[in-house]
Structure 1
Amino acid sequence: MAARRFSEEPAFVLHRYDWSESSLVLEVFTRHHGRIALVAKGVKRPTSQFRPVLLPLQPLHLSWGGEAEVRTLKAAQWQGGHVMPTGEALLSGCYLNELLMRLLARDDPHQGLFDHYALAVQLLAERADAQQLILRAFELLLLRDIGLLPSLAHEGNTLAGLNAADPYVLVPDSGLRVAHDDDVHVLSGEQWLALQTAMDEVGPFVATLRACAGCQQALQPQLRGLLHYHSGVRVFKTRQLMLDVQAMSRPRGSPSVAGLAADPPA
């Protein structure tokens, strides 16, 4: 029986690591097959046609074959459309990749999520001033699409509808609850409902991004808690990298990162 072949599949490289002296294993996110592993044979050789193509945050068309857990890459072409994000936007894109690596199971297709990711990467390259909103929108849609986001229209324990005027907080293991006096980061019922409505639209990414605009500072730590809870990590590597970069570039005697109002991209 001949090995299965797949051709011209839209994909992005999420991560790569050594397989041998000349080859790499790629973790890629594909539109129709989800996250899969491919071995790129000979890719580290100077003459390899894959070397300038297999870069993260670039839309690709990939072809592969095989039935094993790690398939064999046969062809790779740059799809075009936008340039790679740079600077802090590049680190934000790497953060998106880390989220997908930690939260997506292999061979679990999410076509809608693939489209959200592709749009997020494009916007990071084009709109560096909107990084925070892009990240929040993607975090919400990622959690929703893989079934880890509770309803934002109901209280978690009682399933009662939200009161638009009341404050609520998102608790990782139980969903939304009415805020207590000592809760620091809260959103009104109206804001949570607006986020849920935006995610329910036919083209939800831009709508969700806009819904985040008025509440992203309070939303960020709540989503981060939910992401940490489900990924099993206390700090994402890309966020720690940004904290380290900020610490190295900060003049001696200036306030610490913890004391700054603005958070790093992740």
Structure 2
Amino acid sequence: MSKLEATGYVIHRRPYRETSLIVDFFTRQYGRISAVAKGARGASKSDRKSLIQPLQLLSFELSGRSQLKNLGIAEALQSSLNLKGTSLYSAFYLNELLMRAIPETEPMSMLFEQYQRTLTALERVSNDNTAAEINANSIPTGDVEPILREFELLLLQELGYLPDFNYTADTGEQIIADLSYSFVSEQGFIACSAKQAYALSGRDIISIAQKDFSPSARRAAKYICRQAFLPIIGDKPLKSRELFISR
């Protein structure tokens, strides 16, 4: 029986039989991978019940020749993240996006590093707002949106769906700040009238490319990312987005 060693985060889990879980990990070595964690739920007194939690970074062993592995020895590599309110909902969103967007067992080391940086940034936002005596549930979305957009843009790049933010898709002309553009999924930006529905400012497109997320660029980036992900994850709503709406 072959064994694999991996480092990764728990991004999803679901019941399996009476006392076990099927756990989805996002790992440095293998991308997204699934495993059966025996004795991790129900009346079992296994330490795994407290160890296998969403957003927990683990070092672990996997065994088995099928696509669905068996989880062996697992050890926490850091304490649980201190995420609250909007920051926590944002992390759940990242996990659901990974579950829906990336194929299994396809290594994405750059994305894994960005995922870690994103969680760290979300934790910092959560702690900063708590220190400032702001309710964590009321963290301004402007604090987390640039963090999420940077992750989404890298994910699109890794999947081959990132549009060219410098040149138009149809003519190859450079994006001009004073012109307007429409965004077409799987193609890119096309010059259009400023009066056209969902027209985007060239200035905002250029700002996004430079990771300069002004309020208008944030709105544009959110629209672009949502449209760009449609061919990848489909139009079935992400459950984690409901957390933001219900606040």
* TM-score calculated relative to the size of structure 2: 0.85
For 2:187 and 2:16, the matched residues in 1 are separated by 41
SS at match of 2:122: helix
Q: How many residues align?
A: 229
Code of the aligned partner of 1:10: T
RMSD: 1.9
CA contact (8 A) 1:61 1:76 kept: yes
Q: Please give the alpha-carbon distance, in whole angstroms, between the structure 2 residues aligned to 1:92 and 1:149.
A: 21
Q: 2:81 aligns to what?
A: 83
Give 1:170 shift.
2.2
Find the counterpart in structure 2 of residue 182 from structure 1: 196
Name 1:222's counterpart in structure 2: 224
Tell me, what secondary structure is at the counterpart of 2:205? Answer: helix
- Secondary structure class of the residue paired with 2:51: coil
Contact preservation (8 Å) 2:204, 2:220: no
CA distance in 2, matches of 1:223, 1:16: 26
Deviation at 1:46, TM superposition (A): 4.0
TM-score (norm 1): 0.79
Aligned residue number for residue 35 of structure 1: 32
1:134 alignment partner in structure 2 = 147
Q: Secondary structure at the match of 1:151?
A: coil
Q: How far apart are residue 173 of structure 1 and its match?
A: 3.7
- Contact (CA 8 Å) 1:64, 1:73: kept in 2 or not? yes
Q: Distance in 2 between matches of 1:222 and 1:77?
A: 39
Partner secondary structure for residue 156 of structure 2: helix
Q: Which residue of 2 aligns with 1:152?
A: 165
Name the aligned partner's letter for residue 196 of structure 2.
D
Q: Which residue identity is paired with 1:235?
A: P
Letter in 2 for 1:238: S
Q: Is the 8 A contact 2:11 2:96 kept in 1?
A: yes
Instruction: Spell out, residue by residue over 1:8-54, the C-alpha distance to the aligned partner (whole angstroms, 9 max, x if none).
Output: x2201111111111000011111111111110011114421211111
CA 1:86 to 1:154, structure 2 compared with 1: closer, same or farther past 3 Å? same
Q: List runs of 5+ in structure 2 lacking aligned partners.
A: 127-138
Shift of 1:177: 1.2
| 1:167 to 2:169 alignment | no
Spell out, residue by residue over 1:106-145, the C-alpha distance to the aligned partner (whole angstroms, 9 max, x if none): 0111000011111111111111452111111111111111
**Shift in Å, 1:105:** 0.4
Q: Which residue of 2 aligns with 1:257?
A: none
Residue 109 to residue 116, structure 1, CA distance change in 2 (3 Å): same
State which of 100, 116, 121 in structure 1 corresponds to 2:119: 121
Counterparts of 1:1-266 in structure 2, within 5 Å, are 3-7=1-5, 9-44=6-41, 45-80=43-78, 83-128=81-126, 129=139, 130-180=143-193, 181-184=195-198, 186-188=200-202, 190-196=203-209, 198=210, 208=211, 211-214=212-215, 215-243=217-245, 245-246=246-247
Which ranges of structure 1 fall in alignment gaps of 5 or more residues? Answer: 199-207, 247-266
TM-fit CA distance, 1:218: 2.3
